[in-house]
Amino acid sequence: MKGAGQSRGVIRTLREMASRPSGAIGLLLVLLHVFIAIASPWLVPFDFKAISASLILSPPDATHWWGTDHLGRDVLTRTLLGGREAILVTVVATPLAVLWGGFVGIYLGLVGGKLDDVLMRVVDAFLALPWILKMLLLIATFGSGIEVLIPTLAVFYGIPVIRIARAAAHNVVARDFVLAARARGHGRLAIIRHELLPNVLDALMVEGAMRWSWMLLAFSSLSFLGFGVSPPTPDWGLMVADSRTFLAIAPWSGLYPIVALSSLIIGINLTADALAKTLGVDRAQKAPI
């Protein structure tokens, strides 16, 4: 019965999100990209690795609808396949970041004291450094495979979640039901599970949606810089990097992956905004220092 109630709650939330114009557009864009990522191996008209010297930088025509790139590869094929790695990596890394960052933030919000002060200053110091330098240092040390990118993104983007979860927990720990749980002798883990988590879950869900869009941008940026997906695997960031020299004479080679990535990011942000409004989460809320 509990599972059925949760399912009805999810369906009700999705309906309320879809009733908003921004939510309907966002959900449509996200679902479309997820569908393409899953079905693209059966949708693409050509082999993404097929090279043809006679088709280098060919403009769109009846055969190659979106033209070809600097190696004569079909742009439509590579664009449709270009989001698979990014979506796979970030869909796995985002829940991991929210799980560990959310738990640490809730725990710090509950216990407070010196541990809270010390760890939050560490978080502040970490966030003060440019993310790209930290990430490039780690990836350059351990490699750029999926087995490295997933935990790297999960760790780096879980740290900002700590502040959000801690702020949400601070608004709950002083309430009567938490004080009653402490008076009954409940341990910290029990209080987190039964009292705090249900009351901060909405904020974590919205934060997770936003972290997904930022992870996608980070993943594409790493691919653009040569630290993400390795050629000849199609990837939007890598496609833009390969085409940047030819944008003046063959803009189609870089335009379509840019549009694809942008539409997914816009869809996720619209979905996150609709989710926040549906759940009544104030994304502008300041975290306590």
At 75-108, the pLDDT tens digits run 999 999 999 999 999 999 999 999 999 999 999 9
CA separation for the pair 163, 102 (Å, rounded)? 9
Residues 214-246 have pLDDT tens digits of 999 999 988 888 888 888 889 999 999 999 888
Whether residue 142 is predicted with pLDDT greater than 60 in this model: the reply is: yes
Percent of the chain with pLDDT over 90: 46
More reliable by pLDDT, 187 or 120: 120
Which has more confidence, 144 or 287? Answer: 144
Question: Around Cβ 180, how many Cβ atoms within 10 Å?
Answer: 11
Domain 14-41+67-279 has CATH 1.10.3720.10: yes
Buried b (16+ CB within 10 A) or exposed e, 217-233: ebbbbbbbbebbbeeeb
Q: How many helices (H) and strands (E) does the chain have?
A: 12, 0
Mean pLDDT of the chain: 87
Give yes or no for a contact between 105 and 163, defined as CB atoms under 8 angstroms apart: yes
The set of residues, in sequence order, having a beta carbon less than 8 Å from that of 16 and lying 6+ positions away, is 23, 278
**Tokens describing residue 273:** 């905004």
Say what the pLDDT of residue 285 is. Answer: 53
Calculate what percentage of the chain has a pLDDT beyond 70.
Answer: 94
What pLDDT does 7 receive?
Answer: 67
Q: Would you say residue 162 has pLDDT above 90?
A: yes
CA dist list (Å): 74 to 37, 39, 191, 226: 17, 18, 56, 21
Domain limits of the chain? 14-41+67-279
30-51 average pLDDT score: 93
Mean pLDDT of 33-61: 91
> What per-residue confidence (pLDDT) applies to 282?
65
Place 283 in a pLDDT band, splitting at 50, 70 and 90: low
pLDDT of residue 1: 47
Q: How far apart are CA 53 and CA 209, in angstroms?
A: 42
pLDDT for residue 248 is more than 90: no
Q: 117-126, 178-187, 209-218 — which is least confidently predicted?
A: 178-187
CB 204 within 8 A of CB 165: yes
Using the predicted structure, report yes or no on whether residue 52 has a pLDDT greater than 50: yes
Cα of 41 vs its chain's centroid, Å: 23
**DSSP 8-state secondary structure symbol assigned to residue 66:** T
